[in-house]
Amino acid sequence: MTAPLRPPARARARALAPLARPGNQTAEPKIYSVSELTRDIKTLLEAKYPAVWVEGEISNYRVSPSGHAYFTLKDAFCQIPAALFRSQLLRVPVPLKDGMKVLVFGSLGVYEKRGEYQIIVSKIEEKGVGALQIAFERLKRKLFEEGLFAPEHKKPLPLLPRQIGVVTSPTGAAIRDILNVLDRRFSNLHIILNPVRVQGDEAAHEIVSALNDFNRLKNVDVIILTRGGGSLEDLWPFNEEIVARAIYASEIPIISAVGHEIDWTISDFVADVRAPTPSAAAEMVIGRKEEIADRIRYLRDELFHHASAVVGEYRRRLDLARRSYVFREPANLIKQYQQQVDDCLAKMLLHGRHRLQIWDQRVDGLRCRLDALSPTGVLARGYSITVNRADGSVILGVTQATVGGEIETLVRDGSFISRVTALHPGCEVGNQKSEMRK
């Protein structure tokens, strides 16, 4: 068995030499505090890079209440925090925003409280628009031209939804904010969370799947699509085209509440309603319980006052009728109506008799006319009627009689029978009368 190799004694002595103290005593190592080490690093870094130009893309840009701006300067592989103090920010000629590609001049430093190195910006120039921002604007323009942002496609939110769907991360602050607001307003609402990742490569597909699940099951009245704030890269799943088309195809109204108030995503433009924050989305989806209760009480009071007014009016009419003559002396009123009925009957009888007299006179006149035109009336005036006894026909002319035939003559008080001995044709009666007038 081979023994392990050991360095020569002289070499070991040289290796231990730095730790040795005079008098063959062992030296103690240098122990730094966190502050000391941070300051040393800060000194070295600032001495090494007192002035530097850096090119990159702005991300997660924000301005503090003090007026200082903070953002991340990044490229495809790395990123570095940057600070732009208020005095320098006022000199920047163009507004800064996420996605802007810039040239930054400044010095490297260390923010000791967090132990982070950063670039302190003293000058900044716009270089161009970042790749993500270009992709965002291109997709926004495309979907706008297709009509996905058109107001006529926006669906109204339900007044009192019974079930609310939420698509977000189950561990994020957004769901906690929403639940807190809804619990204050309506603690008995049914909330259905469809958990998804809200950043990363798979987030967009999970969001689309969650929206499709709600539309397939039809188990919610409104959907809140939300997440907290972040950089443009963090919010990018909500700028994906597949997410925008899933929102547009949804039959259930969707509220988009992505990021902070200053953040805008494609989903905000396509959704039926855009909320600046998750809490604002919860406030939009349901009105305050107190406001609804106040509205109900107001309508109830209005209904009560209206009903009271109607009842009061009918009571007034009833009192007026009760005090009227009809209800005070009903027997007298009945007698008056009975007397009016008797008067009407007397008028009807009188009118009837008068009408009968008129009709009797008309009948008498017609009867006289009929009597005057009847055969008996003609006989009574001295005329006679002659009939042929053989067949009973009335003889109207000489040619209807025959010599030797028997005829019967009807007069006013009877008839007599004669035999025709001769026929004397002559003029008609009308002609005879004319001759006689001559």
Query: 386 and 422, same structural domain?
Result: yes
pLDDT score recorded for residue 428 = 57
More confident residue, 262 or 354: 354
pLDDT surpassing 90 at residue 164:
yes
Distance CA 252, CA 161 (A): 11
DSSP 237: G
Q: Please, which residues bridge with residue 54 across strands?
A: 104
**Residues in the chain, total:** 438
Are 215 and 225 in contact, with CB atoms under 8 Å apart?
Answer: no
Instruction: Please identify, among 77, 102, 129, the residue that sits at the C-terminal boundary of a domain.
Output: 129
pLDDT surpassing 80 at residue 177:
yes
Distance CA 151, CA 75 (A): 37
- 325 confidence band (pLDDT: 50, 70, 90): low
Tokens representing 64 are 């503090």
Are 205 and 232 in contact, with CB atoms under 8 Å apart?
Answer: no
Look up residue 196 and give its amino acid: V
Distance CA 25, CA 12 (A): 16
Distance CA 267, CA 262 (A): 14
Computed over its alpha carbons, how large is the radius of gyration of the chain?
61
Are 174 and 228 in contact, with CB atoms under 8 Å apart?
Answer: yes
Distance CA 378, CA 412 (A): 9
pLDDT surpassing 50 at residue 10:
no
pLDDT surpassing 90 at residue 263:
no
Are 287 and 184 in contact, with CB atoms under 8 Å apart?
Answer: no
Is 383 inside a domain boundary? yes
Query: 430 and 306, same structural domain?
Result: no
- Write the CATH number for 54: 2.40.50.140
More confident residue, 379 or 404: 404
Is 19 inside a domain boundary? no
pLDDT score recorded for residue 427 = 57
3-state helix, strand, coil in the chain (%, to 5): 45, 20, 30
Mean pLDDT of 417-430: 76
pLDDT surpassing 50 at residue 203:
yes
Lowest average pLDDT, out of 62-71, 97-106, 396-405, goes to 396-405
Residue 393: phi, psi to the nearest 5?
Answer: -80, 150
Q: How far is CA 186 from the centre of its chain?
A: 23
Query: 215 and 71, same structural domain?
Result: no
Query: 270 and 140, same structural domain?
Result: yes
Distance CA 287, CA 265 (A): 25
pLDDT surpassing 90 at residue 255:
yes
Is 139 inside a domain boundary? yes
Compute the Cα dihedral for 9, 14, 18, 22 and give only its sign. positive
Are 222 and 161 in contact, with CB atoms under 8 Å apart?
Answer: yes
* Residue 50 belongs to domain spanning: 34-129
Query: 146 and 258, same structural domain?
Result: yes
pLDDT score recorded for residue 197 = 93
Distance CA 228, CA 417 (A): 141
- Count how many domains the chain has: 5
pLDDT score recorded for residue 70 = 93
Helices (H), ranges, 49-188: 86-89, 131-146, 173-185
Query: 261 and 159, same structural domain?
Result: yes
Per DSSP, the three-state class of 109 is strand
More confident residue, 14 or 241: 241
pLDDT score recorded for residue 328 = 66
Q: Which among 179-183, 265-269, 372-376, 404-408 has the top mean pLDDT?
A: 265-269
Query: 389 and 262, same structural domain?
Result: no
Helices (H), ranges, 218-254: 241-249
Is 28 inside a domain boundary? no
- 7 confidence band (pLDDT: 50, 70, 90): very low
The CA-based angle 118-173-238, given to 5 degrees, is 80
Query: 182 and 40, same structural domain?
Result: no
Query: 143 and 258, same structural domain?
Result: yes
Mean pLDDT of 405-411: 86
pLDDT score recorded for residue 152 = 92
Per DSSP, the three-state class of 239 is helix
Per DSSP, the three-state class of 201 is coil
Query: 225 and 185, same structural domain?
Result: yes
More confident residue, 256 or 325: 256
Torsion angle (degrees, nearest 10) of CA 309, 315, 319, 320: 50
Query: 124 and 139, same structural domain?
Result: no
Percent of the chain with pLDDT over 90: 32
Is 10 inside a domain boundary? no
Residue 208: phi, psi to the nearest 5?
Answer: -60, -45
pLDDT surpassing 80 at residue 11:
no
Tens-digit pLDDT profile for residues 353-381: 889 999 989 988 888 888 777 777 777 77
Mean pLDDT of 154-170: 91
- 161 confidence band (pLDDT: 50, 70, 90): confident
More confident residue, 12 or 95: 95
Mean pLDDT of 21-28: 55
Is 73 inside a domain boundary? yes
pLDDT score recorded for residue 141 = 93
pLDDT surpassing 50 at residue 438:
no
Mean pLDDT of 217-221: 93
pLDDT score recorded for residue 369 = 82
Instruction: Please identify, among 129, 162, 188, the residue that sits at the C-terminal boundary of a domain.
Output: 129
Q: Which among 178-182, 244-248, 375-379 has the top mean pLDDT?
A: 244-248
- 156 confidence band (pLDDT: 50, 70, 90): very high
Distance CA 372, CA 376 (A): 8
Tens-digit pLDDT profile for residues 220-236: 999 999 998 877 778 89
**What distances in angstroms separate CA 381 from CA 345, 374, 376, 411, one per listed residue?**
48, 11, 9, 10
Instruction: Please identify, among 70, 104, 129, the residue that sits at the C-terminal boundary of a domain.
Output: 129
Is 2 inside a domain boundary? no
pLDDT score recorded for residue 436 = 43
Query: 281 and 145, same structural domain?
Result: yes
More confident residue, 46 or 315: 315
Tens-digit pLDDT profile for residues 116-140: 889 999 988 877 666 777 788 889 9
Is 9 inside a domain boundary? no
pLDDT score recorded for residue 12 = 39
pLDDT score recorded for residue 247 = 96
